[in-house]
Structure 1
Amino acid sequence: MNLARLAQLVDGHGEPVNGCDLPPDDAQALAHTRFPNLSTCLVRDWTILDLETTSDEMEALRDRGLEPVMVYALNVVFDSRGRFNAGDWVRSSFQLSFEDNGFFLTKNTLYVLLGKGARQRITVSDLISLQ
């Protein structure tokens, strides 16, 4: 990945997307009420990444109930399982579902996307560069 492409990914370029407008404590309480059995991770400075896939890759993901979509966030606010510290960056696993109020669900975690973010397409090689 070249530096210009990396800058686009981490600087929030892409289609603007609204996330959860609640303060973090209220967002955490709502997440726990709606999804009591899931770990939650509240994040800021996030981008939804639509992974460019082949039809075979797409089919393999969808057979597992997943979409080729991930979240990349530069700022973890809170992680209920303590996997990440405040201020860490995180990249989610593949999307199970996404709700307009900023709730991005994977098989193991509900990511609460706080504030405004972006959405953009990403290649597999770009994705690998984010590790």
Structure 2
Amino acid sequence: MDEHLISDILYGPAQSLGGSGLSDENLVRVAAEEYARQDFCVVRHWLLLDVLLPEAEQSQLEREGLRATVLYAHSVVHHSSTNMGVTKGLISGYESESYGWLFRADDTTYILAGPGGRKYVSLPAINALRDHVG
């Protein structure tokens, strides 16, 4: 069951979105200057996942100033806390802010590079993806 949920997230249809068109090197350089005092992460092959939550959980998130959207990135180009990329994907916490090709969650600014997508997913699907990514 989990494999089917994960497969639908990763390979099912999604609304196409575009991130920054800058090269990885330029994005890391610009982000290091702009976000020198905070964590940032440059990602590629990403999806914004709008999580369909029960009403009580949705209300709790809203009270905390968060949105029920998480970022899944298959490719991490650079993470400021490790000074390198990571080999397997990452999934963020819930969105605190986003604009253009920037997504903020977990006190980290994620820079969305290149093409990506957006889709609605169920809570069980997100939990399966979290377990898979680890």
Calculate the TM-score normalised by the size of structure 1.
0.87
- Residue in structure 2 matched with residue 56 of structure 1 by the alignment: 56
- Residue in structure 2 matched with residue 129 of structure 1 by the alignment: 128
Report the RMSD for the aligned CA atoms in angstroms: 2.0
Point out the more displaced range, 11-20 or 41-50.
11-20
Q: Secondary structure at the match of 2:67?
A: coil
Q: 5 Å matches for 1:115-126?
A: 115-126=114-125
Q: 1:55 to 1:84 in 2, by over 3 A?
A: farther
Give the CA deviation at 1:23.
1.1
Q: Secondary structure at the match of 2:106?
A: coil
Q: 5 Å matches for 1:40-55?
A: 40-55=40-55
Identity %: 22
Contact 2:51/2:121 (CA < 8 Å) preserved in 1?
Answer: yes
Contact 1:12/1:46 (CA < 8 Å) preserved in 2?
Answer: no
- Greater percentage in strand: 2
Q: Which 5+ residue runs of structure 1 have no aligned equivalent?
A: none
Q: Which 5+ residue runs of structure 2 have no aligned equivalent?
A: none
Q: 1:67 to 1:28 in 2, by over 3 A?
A: same
Q: 5 Å matches for 1:1-131?
A: 1=1, 3-11=3-11, 13-82=13-82, 85-100=85-100, 102-130=101-129, 131=131
Give the CA deviation at 1:6.
2.5
Q: 1:4 to 1:107 in 2, by over 3 A?
A: closer
Q: Secondary structure at the match of 1:48?
A: strand
Q: 1:92 to 1:83 in 2, by over 3 A?
A: farther
Contact 1:47/1:73 (CA < 8 Å) preserved in 2?
Answer: yes
Q: Deviations over 1:27-68 (max 9, x none)?
A: 223333433322111111111000001222112111111100
Instruction: Measure the CA separation in 1 of the matches of 2:59 and 2:19.
Output: 28
Q: 1:53 to 1:10 in 2, by over 3 A?
A: same
